[in-house]
Amino acid sequence: MKRKYLLFLGLVSFPFYSGGFGAAQDDASRIRVNVVLVQLNVAVTDSKGNYISNLRPEDFAIVEDNIPERTAAFEEGNERRLVDIAPAGGVPRWQSALKIVDLPDTSTATDQTKPPTPITSGANVFILFDTSNYMYRGFVFAQDSISDFIRSLEGVGKVALYSYSRDLDRITALNPDRSQALHGVRSTVAGDDAALYNSLLMTVKDAAPLTGKKAIVVFSNGPDNASLVPPEDVAELAQSTGTIIYMISTQQAEAEPISTAVFERMSKATGGRAYFSRSWRDEKQAFASIRDDLAHLYTLSYYPQANPNRGWRKITVKLVGKDLQKYRIRTRDGYRLLHPTQAASTNLASSE
């Protein structure tokens, strides 16, 4: 079976399908596998939820489908520490560590001569605001809340502001200027059906090509009455692209069990969390939690060992050593190989 897979995830840029003629022109029997790092954002907390810092790369053990993996890059919060992985003889580890995924007929790999791209300092945060009819009553209060959240973001690289109802609106593009995002919040309009999962899918795709930590913060009370894609597919894509999803809701959302279930499970699967406050005016705790999360996440990267599995690959991260077993770990639990079309942004036009 001849297939082109992209083992995606993080640090190395990859070709989009729109530029993929070259691949098509290659001998069809060859498979081009773009080998990049798998990047994991890991929160380590004690039983009270306090973040545990100053852990070392060797404190973590990563296993993918029962195959032990070696950490290639390590970062705590926004402090990047590259693991010394150069083997004897001076060949950079990133070169020797690059493996062609063991698929039938595999013959080529991408550029193996370059080291992993440095992780960008500060996370990229996409805010996705539900402006559907379901938010009508609390619309202005939710705006206030999102504005507060944007103002509170520290240590975050860039912020984008999207909104959705039946369609997705990319209101302000990812950029470091908080004022633009604030203007964006106040320019939203309310109304129409709610297609949360459609819109979340497109947001994940916009985030996919980014390097470094990336998170989507959804402000929604649910429910969804117009999406075509199910939440399972969105969660898988977010996991496969290393995108963390945080859901911010009010207790109003808890009246609708489907949304509650999805919010909790999807955010957990991607390494994020779901918050249900009493009202939109009472989200301070959620904001602080997300801010702390982004500031304290460990980022571990590895080049996957040869793995014949072309389906879902399960990832397990554990702490090594008796003393660390009392801590809890939160990260995504796997990923799936993606075709370039699945990772390409849905955006057609350049910035205007």
Partner 1 sequence: MNVLLRTSRYLKTTVFTLGISCSLFSAPALSAAPSPAPRPEPVQTVLIPGPLRSFERMAGISQKVAPADVLPFFARNVYMLGYHQSTPTEFLILVDRYLQQARELQVLAGSAGVIKVNGCDDAGTLIQILGYRLRPDCGKKNFSLETANPERAFLTIDSGFPLVDLEEALQNGTPFLYPYASTRVPALFYESDWAALRTGQRKVSADLVDVLIGDRFTARLYWAMAKEDTETRTALRRSPGLRALLPYAGVLDFYGSQICIRSGHVQLPGGTAAQASWRDLAGANPDVPGQFVPALLAKDSGWLAAYFDALSRISQVQQKPLTQSPRLKRLYEAFRQLDPETSATHGVFRKAPDLLVLFTRIQFEPDGQPRIPGDLATWKDVLHQKTDSKVIHEWGKRSSGWNTPEQMFEGMAGLARVETEAGPLQSFLLISEIDRKRQPGNRLTPATVRLLADRFPRYKSWYQIFTEFQSLDNTSITRFVSIAEAIDKIPNQNLRANTEGSFQATVGLWQILARQGQLPTDNLNPSWTKVLEPFATVSSPVQLFDATQSSLGGLLAAAGANPTDSQTQISQSQIIDLISGPRQDNPDSQRVRLEMAERIRAVLDDQRLASLDTVFALSDGLKDMAQSKAKGDRLLPLAEELREFDMPKPIFTNREKINWAPAIYVNHHAELQVRTDLTKILKGQATHEQLEAARGQLAPFLRDTLVGLNYAYYEPPGAQMLHHNPLFVRSHDFLGVSIMGSNPLWGSPVVVGAGSPAGGGAYLIGSLADLPFALATIEQDFIAPKNVQALIWKELTPVLIVSATTPRYWGVTPNELHAVNLYQRCGEELLTAAASNPELRTKVLEVLSDRIAPQRMEELEHALLRPQDVSNYLNHVMPAETFYLAAEVHTRFPDLAPSWGPASLQLEELRTRFPAEVTPDRIARDFGVPHPTLAQTNASDLLHVKPFPFFGSNSGRLFGESWESGNLYWARLADEMGYSPAALNSLAPNLTRRTIANIFATEFEDWPAVLRAMHETGDEFRQSKLTALATANPGVPASDQPLENTTTR
Q: Which of residues 161-190 bind partner 1 (CB under 8 A)?
A: 165-174, 179, 182-183, 185-190
**Residue 93 backbone phi and psi in degrees, to 5:** -60, -35
The nearer residue to partner 1, 71 or 163, going by C-beta atoms, is: 163
CB of 73 to partner 1, least distance (A): 24
Total residues in contact with partner 1, by rule CB under 8 A: 97
Give the H/E segment covering residue 204: helix 196-207
Tokens for 121, please give them. Answer: 């300092």
C-alpha dihedral (32, 35, 36, 37), degrees to nearest 10:
150
CB of 87 to partner 1, least distance (A): 34
Are the C-beta atoms of 326 and 46 separated by less than 8 Å? yes
What DSSP designation does 119 have? P
Of 239, 303, 251, 314, nearest to 278 by C-alpha is 251
The nearer residue to partner 1, 82 or 238, going by C-beta atoms, is: 238
The nearer residue to partner 1, 18 or 107, going by C-beta atoms, is: 18
The 6-7 sheet, strands edge to edge: 6-7, 31-35, 106-109
Query: From the list 106, 115, 141, 292, which residue makes contact with partner 1 (rule: CB under 8 A)?
Result: 141
CB of 182 to partner 1, least distance (A): 5
- What x/- string results for residues 93 through 122 when contact with partner 1 is judged by CB under 8 A? ------------------------------
The nearer residue to partner 1, 66 or 350, going by C-beta atoms, is: 350
Determine the interface stretch with partner 1 among 31-39, 81-89, 244-252, 333-341 (rule: CB under 8 A).
Answer: 333-341
CB of 325 to partner 1, least distance (A): 27
The answer to whether 139 contacts partner 1 (rule: CB under 8 A) is: yes
The answer to whether 201 contacts partner 1 (rule: CB under 8 A) is: yes
Determine the interface stretch with partner 1 among 94-102, 113-121, 140-148, 295-303 (rule: CB under 8 A).
Answer: 140-148
Query: From the list 65, 144, 254, 292, which residue makes contact with partner 1 (rule: CB under 8 A)?
Result: 144
β-strands 244-250, 274-277: how paired?
parallel
Determine the interface stretch with partner 1 among 12-20, 34-42, 58-66, 80-88 (rule: CB under 8 A).
Answer: 12-20
Tokens for 163, please give them. Answer: 């909104």
- What x/- string results for residues 259 through 278 when contact with partner 1 is judged by CB under 8 A? x-xx--xx--x---------
Please state the length of the chain.
352
The answer to whether 352 contacts partner 1 (rule: CB under 8 A) is: yes
The answer to whether 349 contacts partner 1 (rule: CB under 8 A) is: yes
Query: From the list 65, 86, 155, 312, which residue makes contact with partner 1 (rule: CB under 8 A)?
Result: 312
Query: From the list 118, 191, 279, 282, which residue makes contact with partner 1 (rule: CB under 8 A)?
Result: 191
Using CA atoms, how far residue 115 sits from 87, 101, 299, in Å, is 14, 18, 17
CB of 46 to partner 1, least distance (A): 28
Of 60, 65, 12, nearest to 38 by C-alpha is 12
Tell me how many helices (H) and strands (E) the chain has. 9, 18
Determine the interface stretch with partner 1 among 41-49, 54-62, 107-115, 228-236 (rule: CB under 8 A).
Answer: 228-236
**Residue 171 backbone phi and psi in degrees, to 5:** -80, -55
Are the C-beta atoms of 65 and 305 separated by less than 8 Å? no
The answer to whether 54 contacts partner 1 (rule: CB under 8 A) is: no
C-alpha dihedral (325, 326, 328, 334), degrees to nearest 10:
20
Which residues are CB-neighbours of 49 under 8 A, at least 6 positions away? none
